[in-house]
Each structure stands twice: as C-alpha cells, then as structure tokens.
Amino acid sequence: MVYHIAWAITGAGHFLEETFDAITELVKTQKATVTTFLSCAGKQVVQTYGLWDKLNEVSCGGNLQEIVTESAKDPAFSSAGRFILDMYEVLIVSPATANTVAKIVYGIADSLVTNLVAQAQKANIPVYMVPTDQQEGCVETTLPYRIDKQTCKLCNPCTVVDACSHSAVKISNGAPKISSVLCQGCGACIQACPYGAVKFAEKKKLWIRPIDAQNVQKLLLMNNLIVFENPKQIIPTIKKLQPRCNK
C-alpha cells in the first residue's frame, strides 16, 4: 500500500535533521506521499538549516505532496479539513516545540500545527509526535549559521556580506550579523570568511524546564496520540498502519 502522511514542522532545530532522515526513508522504501505543513517558525528553521531543497524532494508538489505554509490569508486553516475526509493515514508532528506541546495539552488550536492535531484527533487519525523538550535535564542541540564575534575581524568591506546572495548578512552596530529570517542555509558565508568567523552545526547544551517536561507527560495521556523519543521510532510504527477507507 501507499502511505499518505501529513508531516507538520514547528520552529525547532533539535531533531529536525533526524526527522528529515526518517521521512525521506519512508518516501524511498515505503513509497509514502507526504504533505508537509510548516508553521511560520518551521519554515524559517528549514531554510536556516539549509534543508529547503531536501524538503522539495520529500514533498515534490504532486497529489498529497504539497508544501503548505501557515498564512494570515487563511486564518481558518482550511487545509486541516483534509483530515475529516480521511486523506491521510497519520499526522506526524516532528520536531514539536515546547510551545506547540503546551498548546496541544491545554486544547488550544490557534495555529496551523495545533489545528492539524485537533482535526486529526477528531477524525480518529493517529498523531505521532516527537517533542524537543522531553525530560528534565541537559540536552544537546545543533545551532544554525551565526557569526562569532570573538573570531570576527570586522573587515571593511566584509566579504561575508558580499557573498550572501539572499541579503541575509547585514552590518549592525559596525559588525556583520546573519538574519535568521532571510538566511537560506546555502553556506556561502562560511567559504567567504577567511578567518572562520561563520559557524554552523555547533553543538550547544540546553536545560529543559520542568514545566515543559511535565507537559510532555500530559501528552502521553491523550487519546490517539503517540509520543516518540526519537524520529527513528516513527518508521516501524508507520509500517504497521492500516489504510484509511476514503481515498
């Protein structure tokens, strides 16, 4: 069978590349079709981490293979109605930020992703979620592109500014800065700096707040919603799914 998957991405870099790997494997080995739903922040992190081309390979634009972005022009999130029509076997929310998790456990559906979860649950479609902040303690995450102020020599003119074709690098208060809104993750800035001031994929330790870990525990009590510790766990579970009846 062909699996029809809805994939929602929120604004987190943690677990992002691992989720891309899992979804790509499902597309290649299970012939899954994937509609990708992006929150505003989700679109930003996909671009910043240089994964937009890979996303276009996953959701190539065919039937149930679109990329749907959150938009003020559609405040009712009309695309969420697809779940009522049994168009998908499953909704995958990965990575899921602490903010998204908090809204879901308290029944708030005021964004594209939280509305998708609400509609999927109402239609009895399983929701698989990989939260970023799962347990109290320290986790390691990967940072997007940035300019290290300690390494930067404040060259004038700045070769990094000139190298960015997306105008994502601006001079602010005399120093270059990468705009996460404009950055497309192309990596041209890394090659342009002769002093190695542009950093990417650095590892950073973060401490999970108790309230965020508690909200993940509340997710476990919700009907028709499965929480995974890692995106890799999604793959074997997808293979066990049964097809929906109205496609």
pLDDT higher than threshold 60 for residue 246: no
Q: What is the pLDDT of residue 19?
A: 98
Q: Which two tokens stand for residue 78?
A: 């009309």
pLDDT higher than threshold 70 for residue 245: no
Query: For residue 137, what pLDDT band results from cuts at 50, 70 and 90?
Result: confident
pLDDT higher than threshold 60 for residue 24: yes
| 247 part of a folded domain | no
Mean pLDDT of 77-83: 89
| 215 part of a folded domain | yes
Q: What is the pLDDT of residue 36?
A: 97
Mean pLDDT of 23-48: 94
Quote the CA–CA distance of 188 and 160 in Å, as a whole number: 8
Quote the CA–CA distance of 220 and 144 in Å, as a whole number: 30
| 111 part of a folded domain | yes
| 246 part of a folded domain | no
CA-atom Rg of the chain in angstroms: 19
The kind and range of the H/E element at 151 are: none
**DSSP letter assigned to residue 205:** E
| 12 part of a folded domain | yes
Q: Cβ distance 145 to 196 under 8 Å?
A: no
| 245 part of a folded domain | no
Mean pLDDT of 236-242: 86
Tens digits of residue pLDDT in 167-198: 999 998 889 999 888 898 898 999 999 999 99
Shared-domain flag, residues 60 and 87: yes
Shared-domain flag, residues 40 and 109: yes
Q: What is the pLDDT of residue 60?
A: 93
Report the domain count for the chain. Answer: 2
Shared-domain flag, residues 95 and 187: no
Shared-domain flag, residues 125 and 234: yes
| 139 part of a folded domain | no
Tens digits of residue pLDDT in 119-134: 999 999 999 999 999 9
Mean pLDDT of 196-222: 93
Q: What value, to the nearest 5°, has the Cα angle with vertex 215 and ends 212 and 220?
A: 135
pLDDT higher than threshold 60 for residue 202: yes
Residues in contact with 32: Cβ distance below 8 Å, sequence separation at least 6, in sequence order: 2, 3, 4, 5, 23, 26, 238
Tens digits of residue pLDDT in 38-79: 999 999 999 999 899 999 999 999 889 999 999 878 877 888
- The count of residues in the chain is 247
Query: For residue 243, what pLDDT band results from cuts at 50, 70 and 90?
Result: low
What is the overall mean pLDDT for the chain? 92
Closest CA to 199 of 210, 216, 207, 187: 187
Shared-domain flag, residues 191 and 226: no
Shared-domain flag, residues 26 and 55: yes
- The domain that holds 180 is classified in CATH as 3.30.70.20
Shared-domain flag, residues 17 and 130: yes
Shared-domain flag, residues 183 and 222: no
Q: Cβ distance 59 to 170 under 8 Å?
A: no
Shared-domain flag, residues 113 and 234: yes
Shared-domain flag, residues 180 and 229: no
- The domain that holds 34 is classified in CATH as 3.40.50.1950
- Domain hosting 164: range is 144-200
Shared-domain flag, residues 103 and 55: yes
Closest CA to 22 of 98, 30, 76: 30
Quote the CA–CA distance of 165 and 38 in Å, as a whole number: 24
| 13 part of a folded domain | yes
Shared-domain flag, residues 105 and 221: yes
pLDDT higher than threshold 80 for residue 1: no
Q: What is the pLDDT of residue 244?
A: 61
